[in-house]
Structure 1
Amino acid sequence: MSTRETRQPHSQHGLSIPQLFIVAGLILLRTLNALCTGRTFFQPDEYFQALEPAWNLAFGPNSGAWLTWEWQYRLRSSLHPALFALAYAAADKVMSVLPCLPSLKASLLVILPKLVQACLAVLADLYTWKLAEKVYGKGSRSAWSALCVTVLNPWQWYCSARTFSNSLEMTLTIAALNYWPWELLGDTSEAHGGSPARRERLASLRVSLFLAAIAVLLRPTNVFIWGTVVMVALTRLTLRGKNPITLRVAMVLVREAVLCGSAGLALSGVSDRLYFGEWTFPPYHWLHFNLNQDLAVFYGEMAWHYYLSQGITQLTMTFLPFALVGLYRFAVSPTSGATATQSNTLRTLAYTVISTIAVLSAVSHKEVRFIYPLLPTLHILAAPSFASFFSAAPGRQPSQGRTALLAGLIFVNLIIATYLSLFHVSAPISVMHFLRHEYERIHPGRLSLHPEHPVLNHHHNLAQSSPVDSSNGTDELFALFLTPCHATPWRSHLVYPSLRARALTCEPPLHTAPGSAERESYMGETKRFFDGFGSSDQWGVNFLAGEMWPLVTGGDQPKIAGRGGEVPRYIVGFESIEGALTGFFDSADMGVKLKRVWRGWNGLFSDDERKEGYLVVWDTGVYRE
């Protein structure tokens, strides 16, 4: 299979009219993509490592944002949430001078981060296409196929418009790879222009190195991708042709790497200084907690082959055969009909995938998101085999069987993307809308994003037999989430600072030593509540009676005990906890009479038995509207 394909005439600068239509189409597509995936929940980091710190940065410490332990211990770079904080602050400023209902303002703020992320997803699509054109030629079938695979991949649809740091890392990585001067991996016999071309390559190198530096600062594991690119460029292991990197060129590379890396480090340092209030270096803290303290395994361990047996499959989905063929072909087989630069570029891209997966496979805690930055590269590698399989040679008609197969593949991808983006785990998003709208209905006078006074954490004993009047100015505990920790978004969807809510936590055992008995026996709040789930009829009751609403004695009458803690207006949980709730409240004499007021379907399957079934909201009946 040759990589040399017929190229269409093109201009060196700017976009042609058809290309502008494609860009406009991608913008519309990813905007729709963002609005669709905004209806479903994937993983907590989409909110708690991006939107919650962004909300805190934009609206202040009294905004009710939930900052997890990673932010308290400065493990994360502030660059990612700062992007959304700027959008929040700008939108708030604009809407403050326009006549805008609080409910409409809240809805717009919920959607806004998705639209920002949609722009980043468009950039990822465009840079994948641009790099494919650099490798295969402008207008080539393989370049068009790379764009088609990117657009049709259900995983890209599911994740590219989500506000993960991995999504930003993916965009930064493919952009940096596009700007990387791949001529450095070519042959000295290949002409690459005179002085103007050299100046253009130097500018391109600087952009590439700066974007790579930001990606590494954002996610330190990104260094494995760039370590591979640099190592192959310098050693030229298995590459064709004579090395064009002279001592002078090598010195320029070192100089630019230091300068661009320093620029990225300075930007990150200033951002973190402004966010945390002092100079700090999050990658160091990240390495300390994940390597020295070995805390990552607290959130799960996977087999060494996870990325090989499941990760790549989930990333590429129906395009897996083409990705595997491309990966093998460009890493092992000689590339016929290609220039040294083309062949060596494709081989290096294949090596980045192989080496990064090999290194990350040695780490106990694995998630598909961690190899997400490799997906655009896999799309580029898959493109030639995809193009040759589904398109005919010049002058021939495509096979009807393969045309039907292509139509079937597109249909399957659309079904997967539609289900994942609209229905799978949609209840955690829907319930936040329900609670926010209920708060707007019950408390229409408390919908300010900037309360005059701090929103305090009240600890009034609301375990009373008579209904509580919520019109006395006290900020009630509006919702209690008895779900596995971080099973829903938080302030980015609740919006209003005065809407007080509480949820179970799952802080890791920061105070324990790796491998100690204390760490082995440690149980976070979520584990304590769900202890015995599925094997005991009494699971959850002891936690509710001993921790959530414990018996407390009165000061004047020490022999008389009552239930302490706050009773919320609403309790949120999956339907499997209803037995524990009724078992506790029936005997607690707290005046609570649970009534289902909302339930949401949560998809066809779940990877956590505690999240199976409907998500339910119960009214406790202790509040009078």
Structure 2
Amino acid sequence: MKQNVAIFIALLVFRMVNAHFVQTFFQPDEYFQALEPAWQIAFGPQSGAWITWEWKEHLRTSVHPYLFAAAYRSMDWLCHILQADDHVRANALGAAPRLIQAFCAASMDYLTWRIAGKVYGARHAATRAALAVTVCSPWQWHCSVRTFSNSLETSLTAAALYLFPWSMFLEVGDGKEADHRVSPTSLYIALAAAATAFYLRPTNIIIWASISAVIVWRSRSFRKASILAQAAAVAGSSVLAAFAAADWVYYKTWAIPPVRFLYLNLVQDLATFYGQNRIDYYFTEGLPLLLTTALPFALLGLYQSLVAGHSRKSTGQLISFTFGTATVATVLAFSAISHKEVRFIYPLLPILHILAASPLASFFNIDDHNKGRPVILVCGLAANVLIAYYVSQVHQRGVIDVMHYLRHRQESWTEAAAVGELPEAIPANISVGFLMPCHSTPWRSHFVYPEIEAWALTCEPPVNLSAEERLTYLDEADIFYADPVKWLDNNMQDRKVISDGHDTVTRSRLEQLDLGRRKWPHYLVLFEQLTPTLQPLLAETRYKECRRFFNKHWHDDHRRKGDVVVYCMRR
């Protein structure tokens, strides 16, 4: 027991350090499906949070944001008690969600190790190898501490797999780690965790449908199938009732987000608006990205699990067979969906790490005197460290750094206004415009201050449009990139407002004549790719490049290539 507690504490500290070192952008869902609604819940509708179309369509459950809203409110209260200044409070609020996610990530690591103990035995080398694989995984370092619903889904899936009473259904005792949780209570809690994962991400049902099918087939017992179905119905309906009530509080109307999710993504096929991938994507890109250096061991472990499943030698082998079958079925099912992302199969990672553990432990057996294998181990670990460093400290860092820069500029302006260093004609709050593909940066979770006036290009999908209308549909970002100069002329105030050739009085008069359009902000933020197009236009204005942040060495979207460039308007 003490060893288990010590290992969890060590994992928690490790993931807290992990959360601190991740300073890059991955995908916008990390912010707009979690932190923005959480910010609004915590600080109110006037807090400046960006609530995207998904929330207006009741596509997402509020349960996930409520978790981070509680973290925000708790941290805000603590800062108030400690009388922290605005700068410290802003940093503390930025760290609060990552602390929650670090706990979830540490739990995932810990549960992966404990599940491996059920499969291989608590003292087996493969069990220790499973813990080592999850701790050393570049994907885990990169993604587990991010506030994706997929990350929480994976932690919940691991919890459900650990709590599930395998020996109740698979009936083989083998003397390995005893499954003490064979009571119905354990079954109900496991299925409640699975139901929660499904409510967050409805596609999680594929994993549990596969596992249930294997259990029913291998047990060949109508009674056990009935027990499983009854428990699933009770746990599922309880979770549905509780979360539907939470969503009623958030949406002010009854909403079942999983149903809405399936309708919009399957019936209206809106997911394809955000991209389509080849049918082999998960085999050629998804699994390699998820597993990196553990890929060959996972593939071998997957094969061994399927082969060993034909026997009934041990409960562990049957669990492995169930895991292997669920993995194959889930990847095949996801491959049939047009819109693919590697994080969609993230919940399989604990399973894959467990399957990889046995071949890994055998290959690096300390009793094997093969001198080449330690070299392979060191090279593999070095590769993992380099990958983890690059994705957490280098790749797509600029879009995060620019948000910190802008927040600090707001702090500087506020301080200057407080001591009378700003002219009365200059507002004490900054304004920012992002001429980038939509959701290229975080938003209020990183701005923090509601006083910052900001806007960005949008990309609302073609909800409720016919197939013919979708063929010609362009979102705001598409329209902008088709002709950036024309878009600025049509949507922004007259360029004379920002011209070097007019005094303050003339500019003010011109602004009054153009009130129906967007004002030119104090800061314009764009990717380097756009500078050849806009530089000639901005050269005739009071905008000058003032900061530049390295963002990435490459990107599959040409619009996001190059540094993040900031243009500041001279006063």
Shared topology, TM-score over 0.5?
A: yes
1:127 is displaced (CA, Å) by 0.5
- 2:488 counterpart of 1:544: yes
Residue identity in the other structure for 1:540: P
Question: Does residue 255 of structure 1 match 2:230?
Answer: yes
The one-letter code sitting in structure 1 at the alignment partner of 2:70 is: L
1:611 Cα deviation after fit: 1.4
Q: Please state if 1:80 is matched with 2:64.
A: yes
Select the residue among 354, 365, 374 that pairs with 1:380: 354
1:595 to 531, 534, 544: 544
CA contact (8 A) 2:309 2:321 kept: no
Matches of 1:193 and 1:159 in 2, distance apart? 30
Deviation of 1:255 after TM superposition, in Å, equals 2.7
Aligned to 1:576: 529
- The amino acid that maps onto 2:126 is S
In structure 2, which of residues 216, 219, 227 is the aligned counterpart of residue 234 of structure 1?
A: 216
User: What is the deviation of 1:544?
Assistant: 1.1
1:495-574 correspondence to structure 2 within 5 Å: 495-513=448-466, 515-516=467-468, 518-531=469-482, 539-549=483-493, 564-574=517-527
Q: Is 1:314 matched up with 2:263?
A: no
Measured in 2, the distance between the counterparts of 1:188 and 1:214 equals 29
2:376 maps to a residue whose letter is L
2:122–2:177 Cα contact (<8 Å) kept: no
Change (3 A) 1:198 1:391: closer
How far did residue 548 of structure 1 move? 3.2
Extract structure 1 runs of 4+ deviating beyond 6 A: 188-194, 560-563
Shift of 1:94: 2.2
Letter in 2 for 1:601: F
Q: Secondary structure at the match of 2:415?
A: coil
Over residues 181-207 of structure 1, what are the superposed CA-to-partner deviations in whole Å (9 max), with x where a residue is unaligned? 11144246879999xx88743221111
Deviations 1:518-561 (CA, angstroms, capped at 9, x unpaired): 21111111111112xxxxxxx41111112234699x9xx99x98
2:189 is matched with 207
2:547–2:566: 8 Å Cα contact kept in structure 1? yes
Name the counterpart of 1:147. 131
Shift of 1:475: 7.1
Deviation at residue 354 of structure 1 after TM alignment? 0.7
Q: Distance in 2 between matches of 1:523 and 1:547?
A: 16
Q: 1:409, CA displacement in angstroms?
A: 0.7
Equivalent residue, structure 2, for 1:442: 413
Deviation at 1:91, TM superposition (A): 1.3
Confirm or deny: 8 A CA contact 2:170 2:215 kept in the other structure.
no
1:132 equivalent among 102, 108, 116:
116
Alpha-carbon shift at residue 30 of structure 1 (Å): 0.5
Deviations 1:53-97 (A, max 9, x none): 000000000000000000011100111111000111111122223
Instruction: Verify the 8 A CA contact 2:434 2:455 in the aligned structure 1.
Output: yes
**Alpha-carbon shift at residue 244 of structure 1 (Å):** 7.3
SS of match in other structure, 1:480: strand
Within the candidate set 15, 30, 34, 2:15 is matched to 30
Q: How does 1:209-358 map to 2 (within 5 A)?
A: 209-236=191-218, 243=219, 245=221, 247=223, 249-333=224-308, 339-358=313-332
Q: Say whether the 8 Å CA contact 1:185–1:244 is kept in structure 2.
A: no
CA 1:199–1:440: 2 relative to 1, 3 Å: closer
Tell me, yes or no, if the aligned pair for 2:413 and 2:428 is still in contact at 8 Å.
no
Q: Percent identity?
A: 41
- Structure 1 position 426 matched with structure 2 position 405: no
Residue from 84, 93, 99 that aligns with 2:77: 93
Aligned to 1:443, the other structure's residue is in SS state helix
CA distance in 2, matches of 1:255, 1:583: 69
1:233-258 Cα deviation digits (max 9, x unpaired): 1122xxxxxx37452x4433333222
Q: Of 368, 372, 380, which aligns to 2:342? A: 368
Q: 1:476 to 1:199 in 2, by over 3 A?
A: closer
Taking a change above 3 Å as real, the CA distance of residues 360 and 404 of structure 1, as seen in their structure-2 partners, is same
Shift of 1:352: 0.9
Q: Find the aligned partners of 2:424 and 2:326 in 1 and give their Cα distance.
A: 61
Match of 1:160 in 2: 144
Letter in 2 for 1:603: K
| Contact in 1 for aligned 2:395/2:553 (Cα 8 Å) | yes
Match of 1:400 among 371, 378, 388: 371
- Structure 1 residues 418 and 614: CA distance shift in structure 2, 3 A: same
Structure 1 position 301, deviation (Å): 0.4
Residue 567 of structure 1, CA deviation:
0.9
What is the CA-CA distance between 1:397 and the residue it aligns to? 4.8
- Checking the alignment, whether the CA contact within 8 Å between 2:7 and 2:110 is kept in structure 1 is no
Deviations 1:34-60 (A, max 9, x none): 0111x1000000000000000000000
Task: Select the residue among 605, 608, 613 that pairs with 2:554.
Answer: 605
Check the 8 A contact 2:244/2:255 in 1, yes or no. yes
Asked if residue 186 in structure 1 is aligned to residue 137 in structure 2, the reply is no
Match in the other structure for 1:66 = 50
Residues of 2 paired with 1:582 and 1:190: CA distance? 72
The alpha-carbon distance between structure 1 residues 488 and 399, as it changes in their structure 2 partners (threshold 3 A), is: same
Task: Tell me the secondary structure at the aligned position of residue 444 of structure 1.
Answer: helix
Aligned match of 1:390: 364
- 3-state SS in 2 of match to 1:595: strand
Relative to structure 1, the CA distance from residue 487 to residue 446 in structure 2 (aligned partners, 3 Å threshold; closer, same or farther) is farther
Contact 1:507 1:524 (C-alpha < 8 Å) held by counterparts: yes
Q: Distance in 2 between matches of 1:480 and 1:615?
A: 13
**What does 1:107-126 align with in structure 2 at a 5 Å threshold?**
107-126=91-110
Aligned equivalents of 2:198, 2:339: Cα separation in 1: 19
Q: Specify whether residues 585 and 397 from structure 1 end up closer, same or farther in structure 2 by C-alpha distance, changes over 3 A only.
A: closer
1:311-357 Cα deviation digits (max 9, x unpaired) = 00100011110011111121235578x83322211011001111111
Question: How much has 1:471 moved relative to structure 2?
Answer: 3.9
Residue 118 of structure 1, CA deviation: 0.4
Size of the aligned set, in residue pairs, is 556
The answer (yes or no) to whether the contact 2:438–2:477 under 8 Å persists in 1 is yes
Using a 3 Å threshold, how does the CA distance of structure 1 residues 267 and 345 change in structure 2: closer, same or farther? same
Which runs of 5 or more structure 1 residues have no equivalent in the other structure? 1-14, 237-242, 448-468, 532-538
| Contact preservation (8 Å) 1:52, 1:66 | yes
Shifted more, 199-208 versus 379-388: the winner is 199-208
1:404-415 matched pairs, under 5 angstroms: 404-415=375-386
Structure 2: how far apart are the matches of 1:34 and 1:352? 30
The CA distance in 1 between the partners of 2:182 and 2:170, in whole Å, is 17
Call closer, same or farther: CA 1:98–1:610 in 2, change over 3 Å. same
Which amino acid in structure 2 is aligned with residue 529 of structure 1?
Answer: F
- Contact 2:268 2:464 (C-alpha < 8 Å) held by counterparts: no
1:361-416: CA deviations, max 9, x gaps? Answer: 11111000100000110000111100000114xxx354221011101111111111
1:483 corresponds to 2:436: yes
Amino acid at match of 1:519: R
| One-letter identity of the residue aligned with 1:314 | L
CA RMSD of aligned residues (A): 2.7
1:4 match: none
Report the Cα distance in structure 1 between the residues aligned to 2:395 and 2:180, rounded to whole angstroms. Answer: 50
Distance 1:446 1:357, change over 3 A: farther
| Alignment partner of 1:492 out of 445, 448, 453 | 445
